[in-house]
Chains A and B, each alone.
Chain A
Amino acid sequence: MASEVNTDFLHDKKLDSIAADILRPVGITQGFIVWMGFLGISLLACIYAYYIQFDKGLIVTGLRDYISWGMYIANFVFFVATSLVGMLISSVLGLIGFKWVKPIARIAEIIAVAFAAIAGLVIVSDMGRPERLPYVFMYGRIQSPIIWDVTVVTTYLVISTLLYFLPLIPDLAISKGRMGHTPKWLQKTYEILAVNWKHTPKQYQILLKAVRIMLILIIPTAFAIHTVTSWLFAVTLRPGWDSSIFGPYFLTGAFVAGSAAVVIMMYFVRTNYKLDKYLTEHHFDMMGKLLVLVSIVYLYFNINEYLVPGFKMKTAEAIHLKDLFVGDWAFMFWSVQLLGLVIPIILLLFKFFRKPLSMFVISIVVLIAAWFKRLIIVVPTQDHPFLPIQHVPKAWMVYQPTIVESAITIGTLLLVIIIITVLVKFFPVIPIWEMAEEQNEIDSKSKE
């Protein structure tokens, strides 16, 4: 984001065509109603599943004495991980000055907001007595990483929301008078949210300063959010969690999941809203390169995480690692490593695979693998406690997720998709003013 804005673009005719393109899909369409109806009904089924859990307690899940952190906590780690991409794209790449991230930045922020917002709910889904949630704040201890996590997730959500909202303000003002096809209440919402935006240089100056502060602040916050999440595991002595590289290991893994999520959403927006003029093959190509980069870094951390203890094979670690490499978890472990990391890296090295459709397919595989990767991090460690309970039923030792548990997990994913759908459908998904400004810049340069 530049430090100064040349407002000439406001008088350029190209603004009209850009705004028309981007605002065309905004509003309530039949497709939107059908899609939301589908999501809503599915969500109702999941809410019913949660009602069962709320009524009967966690006994309806597969969580027992040995494995008390299952699908829910894996899902939480996945959500936090995926939301981190907002920081990578708009902040790290944006501050460095990469122009190609401009049309993608808002997509990344939407993903950040949606996943961070629901991450907290995911934690509540893991609570047997959710009505005691206030106790976390009333009796929480600052010494506990759980309190750090609560603090930092909240902070990250607020900053991400601001980073979504602030650059949207000029677009809301631009949309005025161009929203004839949308309902009145939406136009009214735009007017309120536009906070009296008149495109004055002073307003741009304030806006750019505010955005810049948030872009810088979100970097340490994002690092903190996922490092602290990793500490929830790494501060214990348990094999598989007791690792000094867990912070960066989680962080780099987060960028893989997040980048894949961005690609998937880019593809949906591009094909459904016919915005291929703005989300071009070049953008997919660049995202492909980014995905390769973050995947290679993550692969490097994976090698460190498994090779070093695998070389030493300390007693407790050896039981855990054998379970992963050749034991009960081997199929999932190797599938995740190969399909989610090694093969995508190899494929995406070729320009041929960095096309929208193939990127889309690869990203879906990567994202699914990323979810299972969290399960592999969370669950197998608990299979082998240092002090096993004697004579326990087998059901206590082996984690078998139930339908109720799976439905609640799917429900949280549906909530994320609903938030994304609403934001994408009711607000411009690509920054109009930044596109117009860039176009204006290119035009004026070519005139010279």
Chain B
Amino acid sequence: MIKRYFTLLLIVLISIRLSAQVWVVPAENDARKSPFAFDDASRKAGSEIYMTSCKSCHGEPGKNNAVPLVPPPPDMSSVRMQANSDGAMQYKITNGRGTMPSFKNTIATTDVWKVISFVRSFNDKYVQEVAAQAAGGASVANVNIKLNWLKEQNQIQATLSAPSKDKGILPVGGAEVKLFAKRYFGNLLVDEARNTDAAGVALFNFPKDLPGDSAGLVQLVVALSNEAFGDAKRDTTLAIGVPTYRPPLNEQRAMWNVVSKTPIWLLLAYTIAVFGAWGFIIYVFLQIRGIYRAGSEKNTESAE
């Protein structure tokens, strides 16, 4: 009985483990398609992003030189990798799982599609399906973003507009935009994603305590997060953050610093010990000279 129970348990555990290996992508995401057709320009741009953000783990495509992690990062040219739909790839890159990090805030959505464009170049059999709305509509191209800092309210105002064929420049309403502050590692999402109103305006509340550099400067990026409207972003640098001065870690005297920044107490202890000991040693060497001289002195005592 107990044996049976354990067998059952084992089967359950193994199946849980196996299911954990499968990376389930929601059907909605799985079906997504790139808003633009992959071409040489997108592949080239994707290649550059791949080399800086992906290669360190996945290795060079086709060379099977990925870092041996658990689970192993697949090679780009592998069947396993290419079996993903475009949408699945976009979902996985964006959200990450386990050792695969999320690039949600580091690589813009359109750039993610460019990376996928690059990845697909290692699959001869691949035929792209472009998203229907993007393939058809040209009205969303060339979205222009203007940034305004409403100082009193401490808000960032993004105004989106796009040229149209017959009516001149029109505001872009209903587009999702995100505001980021650039940090050392990736972009920090500020406030939430906003939809532009009919006037093409989105307002972001900016926090009062975001650290800037020593002058309070923060580099801001506003980007479209809905690829249906194409690829547009605007960055600007504003003195909007809290001025922050962080002394470099090697500024003060410390045990781990360079020799010119030795802690004073250590410098003194070492110097006193070395000079003390060698002072006596040199004194004793001088005594040997004293012995030699004493031997040359005429003295009666030893002659007795």
Contacts and interface: CB of A to CB of B under 8 A. Distances in A.
Contacts, number: 86
A201 interface: yes
A396 B293 CA distance: 62
- Interface size class on chain A is 20 to 34
B68 A390 contact: yes
A148 B274 CA distance: 10
Contact of A200 (B258, B277, B281, B302): B302
A200 B294 contact: yes
Nearest to B254: A143
Interface string A373-392: 00000000000000000110
B83 interface: no
A143 B257 contact: yes
B77 interface: no
Contacts of B256: 143
A202 interface: yes
Interface string A132-157: 00000001111100001001000100
Majority DSSP secondary structure for residues of B touching A: helix
A206 B291 contact: yes
Contacts of B280: 213-214, 217
Contacts of A17: none
A236 B224 CA distance: 51
B284 interface: yes
Given A143-B259, A390-B68, A197 B291 contact: yes
B263 interface: yes
A120 to B, nearest CB: 17
Given A199-B302, A200-B301, A206 B281 contact: no
Contact of B295 (A159, A200, A210, A221): A200
A198 B262 contact: no
Given A142-B270, A206-B290, 16 more contacts: A139-B259, A140-B259, A142-B259, A143-B262, A151-B274, A155-B274, A158-B281, A169-B291, A196-B294, A200-B295, A200-B299, A200-B302, A202-B294, A203-B294, A213-B283, A214-B284
Interface of A: 7, 139-143, 148, 151, 155, 158-159, 162, 166, 169, 195-203, 206-207, 209-210, 213-214, 217, 221, 224, 390-391
8 closest residue pairs by CB, A with B: A196-B295, A210-B287, A141-B259, A195-B292, A200-B302, A196-B292, A198-B295, A202-B294
